[in-house]
Chains A and B, each alone.
Chain A
Amino acid sequence: GAVVSQHPSRVICKSGTSVKIECRSLDFQATTMFWYRQFPKKSLMLMATSNEGSKATYEQGVEKDKFLINHASLTLSTLTVTSAHPEDSSFYICSARVRGTDTQYFGPGTRLTVL
């Protein structure tokens, strides 16, 4: 199956700092990637859709200036959490959609803890 990597897997940072998370499709090209957030014992919440070469589309209630998304190539999307606060602590998961299909493959996730 298609492989998606995510880095880092875990990060602890101080309040007010910025954190960048990378999502890569390793063996396929992904014109569309998605960023999700998941709180403990809750379902996945879509934050934004990232399209290669264009601006990301954010879901209602997600601050685009706080969660910066860049989809620089067909295999890489990044999410930057700016000026992180403790309430941003969560499990962030990216997914990539195989071109020409609607199947999404998920990365292993990044657990962010903001102190």
Chain B
Amino acid sequence: QKEVEQNSGPLSVPEGAIASLNCTYSDRGSQSFFWYRQYSGKSPELIMSIYSNGDKEDGRFTAQLNKASQYVSLLIRDSQPSDSATYLCAVNMKETDKLIFGTGTRLQVFP
């Protein structure tokens, strides 16, 4: 089982819709979770971090964490074509104190 799993996509949504990106992780002891956005040919850019169960909102982005289910998600409201990118889920593994990345989900927002 991979440590951090994401559906590779592409996930295609129309402009203005809600995009829902999902991620599961294997290390039950993990405490820190991150979403990064990566445009083609660029480096990852931090969007959100989440540490507690529940929702965390920042502008159009909402991160959701469910530690019991070992599940993290990212919702993007009012999706824009400029949101088209690969979204990386990252989990800080407690034992190693290193970030483990999923393979990323490619999001396409079409006008």
Q: Quick check: B104 and A108 within 8 Å, CB to CB?
A: no
* Count of chain B residues with a beta carbon within 8 Å of a chain A beta carbon: 18
Docked complex Cα distance between A103 and B32 (Å): 9
Consensus secondary structure, chain B interface: strand
Contacts of B88 in A (CB 8 A): 43-44
Consensus secondary structure, chain A interface: loop
Q: Quick check: A43 and B45 within 8 Å, CB to CB?
A: no
| B103 interfacial by beta-carbon distance below 8 Å | yes
* Count of chain A residues with a beta carbon within 8 Å of a chain B beta carbon: 16
Partner of B102 from A1, A43, A49, A104 at Cβ < 8 Å? A43
Contacts of B43 in A (CB 8 A): 93, 106-109
* Interface residues, chain A, with chain B CB atoms under 8 Å away: 1, 34, 42-44, 46, 49, 93, 102-109
* Interface residues, chain B, with chain A CB atoms under 8 Å away: 32, 34, 36, 42-46, 49, 88, 92, 97-99, 101-104
